[in-house]
Amino acid sequence: MSSTSESGSTRRGTVLVSGGAGFIGTAIAPALADAFEHVVAVDNLHPQIHPSAARPADLDARVDLRVGDVTDPGTWDAVLAEVRPDVVVHLAAETGTGQSLAEASRHAMVNVVGTTQMLDALLRHEALPARVVLTSSRAVYGEGAWRRPDGSLFYPGQRTSAILEAGQWDFPGAEPVAMAADVVSPAPVSVYGATKLAQEHVLASWAQSVGVEPVTLRLQNVYGPGQSLINPYTGIMSLFCRLAKAGRSIPLYEDGEVRRDFVLIDDVARAVVAAALADAPGTAPIDIGSGEQQTIARAAELIAAHYGAPAPHVTGQFRQGDVRHAWADVSHARDAIGWTPELGLEAGVARLASWIDTQPGVSI
């Protein structure tokens, strides 16, 4: 189903967005509302993200928000009794790497069972969409692949407690390589990463059995305006900003040389919308990042400079489940969905910090 808007552009039918009131959901809402006749968001407004349990003020007014839990079949029955999605964007997930170690059941319930409940309900209500877009994570790669001096790749696996306690941060005699689905095989080292990989496998096997097109985006470290400032598990960039804003020195784990791919929400939102609308994205996972790699020290230095805070300091601390280095090769995204990143770290830090400076009651 499609219609023609006043501007003459053709609008598609209905898009259903799970987790549609969250960080990414609110960011993609305007573009989806421009592209589709009907945008339905399903979200449980979890207090870890939404302390007031109210509709987010920045959620596009054109979005039809249905409050419910993706793990509850009754939620899906109520929604799908009325909604026939042409495209599903599946964002709903528990995302804390460290938190997942202590709350494995919660992460498995939301990420895996929440997905299977949705898929079961789509079949039960004979409401199969043409496409399901899944936002997965770079966490599925774990430590990823590393290259020996002779050019061969190997998978070092998880850094154990003994390795980390000895301060052996890197793998001697080897260099990490960019994460790319056609080169690096998944090997998660966190409960969160394991649940996201299970989510990918469940969707792929289900979708290709019932004639639905699965599109999987493996996101790197997403940050930017609109992210939760009360959730301690949603990334280090907002934490760094809050520390520096308070005039404190930012602590750097390990030796500060951990490499990350910090990708701004603006670019991620464009990628998700592109995946929903692309003509032929294919079924191979698509890596989404900034197109550059940065150390956490560099990110902290930029943030400290913005606030005039003391220089960051190395603590030697570490966190179980964290990987040493992670960044994406985004070349496949250009071919699959016509997307390339546009904003680098300096511009992203400026946007994030400027937004945080407008938020009331920001504290650490």
Question: How confident is the model over 344-356, as a mean pLDDT?
Answer: 95
In the block, residue with structure tokens 């992210």:
227
pLDDT surpassing 90 at residue 46: no
Residue 300 DSSP one-character state: H
CA dihedral over 199, 200, 205, 210, signed as positive or negative: positive
Which pLDDT score is estimated for 7? 44
Which pLDDT score is estimated for 94? 87
Question: How confident is the model over 343-363, as a mean pLDDT?
Answer: 90
| Rg from Cα positions in the chain | 20
Residue 320 pLDDT grade (very low, low, confident, very high; cuts 50, 70, 90): confident
- Helix runs in the chain, H state only: 23-35, 73-80, 97-102, 104-108, 114-124, 161-165, 191-210, 236-245, 265-277, 296-307, 331-337, 345-356
What residues contact 237, with CB distance under 8 A and at least 6 apart?
221, 223, 224, 227, 262, 299, 303, 349, 352
Question: What tokens appear for 228 in the block?
Answer: 């939760």
Assess contact for 343 and 290: CB atoms under 8 A.
yes
pLDDT surpassing 90 at residue 234: no
CA dihedral over 220, 224, 230, 232, signed as positive or negative: positive
What residues contact 143, with CB distance under 8 A and at least 6 apart?
155, 156, 157, 158, 159, 171, 176, 187, 189, 323, 324
Q: Is 165 helix (H, G, I), strand (E, B) or coil?
A: helix
* 303 is a domain residue: yes
Assess contact for 217 and 272: CB atoms under 8 A.
yes
More confident residue, 11 or 154: 154
More confident residue, 46 or 162: 162
Domain extent, residue 259, equals: 3-356
* Closest C-alpha among 282, 296, 108, 98 to residue 181: 282
* 72 is a domain residue: yes
More confident residue, 318 or 361: 318
* 281 is a domain residue: yes
* 363 is a domain residue: no
Which pLDDT score is estimated for 53? 76
User: What SS3 string covers 331-356?
Assistant: HHHHHHHCCCCCCCHHHHHHHHHHHH
Residue 213 maps to which CATH number?
Answer: 3.40.50.720
233 catalytic, yes or no?
A: no
Residue 8 pLDDT grade (very low, low, confident, very high; cuts 50, 70, 90): very low
Q: What one-letter code names the amino acid at 232?
A: P
pLDDT surpassing 60 at residue 38: yes
* 58 is a domain residue: yes
Query: What's the predicted TM-score (pTM) here?
Result: 0.94
Question: How confident is the model over 293-316, as a mean pLDDT?
Answer: 97
Number of domains in the chain: 1
Assess contact for 63 and 39: CB atoms under 8 A.
yes
pLDDT one-digit tens code per residue, 190-204 = 999 999 999 999 999
Query: Which of 192, 223, 233, 253 is flagged as catalytic?
Result: 192
Question: How confident is the model over 296-300, as a mean pLDDT?
Answer: 97
Residue 9 pLDDT grade (very low, low, confident, very high; cuts 50, 70, 90): low
Which pLDDT score is estimated for 232? 62
Question: How confident is the model over 158-172, as a mean pLDDT?
Answer: 93
Give Cα 134 to chain centroid, integer Å: 10
- Helix runs in 211-344, H state only: 236-245, 265-277, 296-307, 331-337
Which pLDDT score is estimated for 6? 45
Crossing angle of helices 236-245 and 296-307, in 10° steps, is 30
pLDDT surpassing 60 at residue 5: no
* 204 is a domain residue: yes
Which pLDDT score is estimated for 233? 62
Q: What one-letter code names the amino acid at 360?
A: P
Residue 364 pLDDT grade (very low, low, confident, very high; cuts 50, 70, 90): low
* 362 is a domain residue: no
Per the prediction, the chain carries an average pLDDT of 93
pLDDT one-digit tens code per residue, 170-189 = 999 999 999 999 999 999 99
CA distances from 32 to 7, 11, 26, 314, 317 (A): 16, 10, 10, 42, 42
Question: How confident is the model over 156-165, as a mean pLDDT?
Answer: 92
Residue 78 pLDDT grade (very low, low, confident, very high; cuts 50, 70, 90): very high
Residue 1 pLDDT grade (very low, low, confident, very high; cuts 50, 70, 90): very low
pLDDT one-digit tens code per residue, 254-267 = 999 999 999 999 99
Q: How many CB atoms lie within 10 A of CB 10?
A: 9
